[in-house]
Amino acid sequence: MQALKLLRRPFLPAIGAITAACCLLALLLALIDPFAIYPWGIRPKLKMNGDYSADATRFLAAAVAKTPSFDTILLGGSTSRPYTPQMMEEILPGTRSAFNFSYSSPSPADRTAILRQLLQFSHARRLILEADWSYVLPKAVQHPTPGFPMYLYDEVWWNDVRGMSREAFQLSRAALQGDALWLPSWSRSAEQVGYRKRYERMQSETSQTQFRSFIARNKVSINNPSELTCRAMDAISEDLVPFARAFSARGVEVDVVLPPYSWVLYYWTADVDPRGVTRPSMLNDVLQMRRCLVQALDDIPHVRIFSFDNIPGLASDWKNYFDPGHLYNSEANRYILRSIAQGQHVLSKRNIDADTAQLRSNVVRYEFTSNEKWIPGK
């Protein structure tokens, strides 16, 4: 009779065996813990040369936070990708080991998950936080970044099983062998090639003609007033400010960097964009965001805000960008780091009014320019 039941349900033993195997693999992965999300496991080693793509870094928050040698950590979006650990170690005083934890389109939810890891475990003495234009958006309309592994950082332990993948087992093998937590597909090389190709395409006469048309078409509306209030920008008040205060209380230097967008951006976003980056009041929204940042952060010890938009020949010249939002000039990146080191181009309550008026005037009067790459002191 028992044999007859088994014949009627021939797949039950196979299903049971597969389930048991999956449970054993999940247990093995949890014991090795390649992403360093548990108190046990083999503490993974990270590549110290920064050879991690934007897609790779999002898996490394716990591992980065628990690596005690990192004394400087940069957290930002795609506009922060060009800052290499080598640059930071060379330029920033007291920096011996840096990590660039930047990836495309970070949202408030995943930024918060990363900052919680850093606040709980990191020994870094300097934290560079990029404050991009997305801070003008209410948190309610910002969804977690697609592909961000929130399951690795939340409090729901059974979500961790979603980390089971071929790549996770490859990383586990690397951890057992004492190798760095790294995969060939995580290399920055393909990312860098993509940036170069995009730069060449955007510097073509066809692209430049298109951007000239954006400026001509939207000249009349570029100074549209902002309707935003500081309260509406809740990612500043509810996320950025509390974390800045918490790190400051530990004596961490917190450098908030406003990425210098091409002035073309403010005209480009005035057009209807199928990707959803349409904001006719972008200029004054961003200016209001900067004012709110200064109002909220300026009095916190160890916290500084840096702005580079009004440097002559930088944001005004298209030769410095591979698209309206992304600087492509390593000399400018080095200059920004030197300015952080020397305390230059700091935005504060003393100069926010003058800086705002200058940037608004620069953008409103702007005519498309593509002459030469900006070099410090030239």
DSSP state of 236: I
pLDDT in the model for residue 38: 85
CA angle, residues 158, 161, 166, in degrees to nearest 5? 175
How high is the pLDDT of residue 273?
64
Report how far residue 235's alpha carbon sits from residue 258's, in angstroms, rounded to the nearest whole number. 15
Residue labelled with tokens 């090639």: 193
Nearest to 188 by CA among 338, 326, 81, 322: 81
Average pLDDT over the chain reads 90
Residue 4's CB: how many other CB atoms inside 10 A? 7
311 closest CA partner among 215, 365, 256, 377: 377
Lay out the sheet containing 72-76: strands in order across: 98-102, 72-76, 126-130, 253-258, 303-307, 346-347
pLDDT per residue as tens, the chain (378 positions): 455 454 455 566 666 655 665 566 566 666 778 888 888 777 888 998 889 999 999 999 999 999 999 999 999 999 999 999 999 999 999 999 999 999 998 999 999 999 999 999 999 999 999 999 999 999 999 988 888 999 889 887 666 667 778 888 888 888 888 899 999 999 999 999 999 999 999 999 999 999 999 999 999 999 999 999 999 999 999 999 999 999 999 999 999 999 999 999 999 998 766 555 678 999 999 999 999 999 999 999 999 999 999 999 999 999 999 999 999 999 999 999 999 999 999 999 999 999 999 999 999 999 999 999 999 986
The SS3 call for residue 255 is: strand
pTM value is 0.91
Around Cβ 143, how many Cβ atoms within 10 Å? 11
- Domains recognised in the chain with CATH numbers: 54-159+188-364 (3.40.50.1110)
Residue 42 pLDDT:
77
- Judge contact between 345 and 339, C-beta under 8 A: yes
Please state, in angstroms and rounded to a whole number, the distance separating the CA atoms of residues 278 and 263: 15
Integer Cα distance of 378 and 376 in angstroms: 6
